[in-house]
Structure formats: structure tokens, C-alpha cells
């Protein structure tokens, strides 16, 4: 609403699908999960992009270059991702406060060199349970 955007039924459905997911979803995954809400592909894609522009949804790109979408960290909390290099699946995971403090120390070090850090990303690459077997 802060972006003066109408919170339509289809936008609500997209947000509900992303809120129920424990990981970032591709457009086909959003459509599959939103079948009960009868999401149309063009509508879902447009709404995902508009919600991303409004800062409600965040785009996540993994090694397979497929764009995935998740609710913005301001709504879900800060987290990182486990990326399966075999199937491309991304799962959310949280790290300890001590780890985040270490990253913050790196941000301070970068600032001392004149570098402005806008965000950080820490992903672990490997194989998910299904692909590791």
C-alpha cells in the first residue's frame, strides 16, 4: 500500500503463495501452488514484478539463471539460501547471530576502503536431499 498499489485478489493470492513457501519460487512454481486461487500466468507474472517494484517481493537469481521470487526480508526476516547445483532448488536457511556479526565486520572493513555495501548474500551450493541420493 505504501507504493499506492491496489491490493487486488490476485496480488493477495501471489503473496499468500509466497508466504506459504519455505523457499523462493519460480513463476511455474507460483502458478502450481496457486492453482486453487486460479492464478493466470500473465497476471501472476505482472503482479510479481509490480510487487517487486513496490518492495514487497524480492527477485532471487541462482546459478541456473531462473528468476525466483520470495517475500522481502522486511516481511520474513533476514535469511540466506541453500542452492542445489543439480536441480536448481533454493531453500531458505538462517545463520547464527555470530556469523551475521562477522559479516557486519566485513561491511565495516569495506566502508573503511570507501566501498558502500548495499546488501550481502551468502548462499551454500551443493546438492539437496533428493539429488544427493
Residues 92 and 127 in one domain: yes
The residues, ordered by sequence, that sit 6+ positions from 114 with a Cβ below 8 Å of its Cβ are none
**Spatial CB neighbours of 67, under 8 Å, sequence gap ≥ 6:** 26, 27, 59, 60, 61
Does 29 score more than 50 pLDDT?
A: yes
Predicted TM-score of the model (pTM): 0.77
Greater confidence, 121 or 24?
Answer: 24
**pLDDT per position as a tens digit, 81-96:** 999 999 888 999 989 9
- Whether 67 and 91 share a structural domain: no
pLDDT band, very low/low/confident/very high, at 39 (cuts 50, 70, 90): confident
Domain count, the chain: 2
Query: 50, 75, 100 — which closes off a domain?
Result: 75
pLDDT of residue 128: 94
- Domain CATH code at residue 70: 1.10.10.10
Mean pLDDT of 97-124: 94
pLDDT of residue 1: 46
- Indicate the pLDDT class of residue 59, thresholds 50, 70 and 90: very high
Query: Containing domain of residue 102, as a range?
Result: 78-133
Residues 60 and 115 in one domain: no
Amino acid at each position: 500500500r505504501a507504493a499506492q498499489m491496489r491490493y487486488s485478489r490476485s496480488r493477495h493470492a501471489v503473496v499468500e503463495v509466497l508466504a506459504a513457501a519455505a523457499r523462493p519460487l519460480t513463476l511455474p512454481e507460483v502458478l502450481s501452488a496457486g492453482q486453487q486461487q486460479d492464478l493466470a500466468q500473465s497476471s501472476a507474472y505482472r503482479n510479481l514484478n509490480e510487487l517487486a517494484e513496490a518492495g514487497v517481493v524480492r527477485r532471487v537469481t541462482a546459478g541456473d539463471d531462473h528468476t525466483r521470487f520470495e517475500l522481502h526480508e522486511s516481511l520474513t526476516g533476514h535469511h540466506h539460501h541453500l542452492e542445489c547445483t543439480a536441480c536448481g532448488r533454493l531453500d531458505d536457511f538462517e545463520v547464527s547471530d555470530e556469523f551475521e556479526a562477522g559479516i557486519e565486520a566485513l561491511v565495516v572493513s569495506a566502508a573503511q576502503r570507501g566501498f558502500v555495501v548495499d546488501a550481502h548474500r551468502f548462499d551454500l551450493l551443493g546438492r539437496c536431499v533428493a539429488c544427493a541420493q
